[in-house]
Amino acid sequence: KEQILLAVPSRSLCTENCKGFCPTCGADKNAGDCGCDEKDIDPRWAALKNLVDGK
């Protein structure tokens, strides 16, 4: 079971140039920009991001 899960891509796309779906709102990225901020970070990781950014 573990080997199958590792072999399956975590992000399935229909073609190589497919942009997929927005992970926030689910909009089709091929149709256009949905306006979601993809840089939105989980607050639990904010302290680590500040450490990496040198803040």
The tens digit of pLDDT for each residue in 1-20 reads 899 888 887 777 788 888 88
Query: CA torsion sign, 44 to 46 to 47 to 52?
Result: positive
What mean pLDDT comes out for the span 32-52? 81
pTM beyond 0.85, yes or no: no
Mean pLDDT, residues 30-49: 82
Q: What is the pLDDT of residue 55?
A: 65
Short-list 42, 20, 40, CA closest to 10:
20
Give dist(CA 9, CA 3) in Å, integer: 12
Would you state the pLDDT for residue 31? 93
Q: What's the chain's length in residues?
A: 55
Q: What count of Cα atoms within 13 Å lies in the side-chain half-sphere of residue 6?
A: 3
Contact 39, 30 (CB under 8 A): no
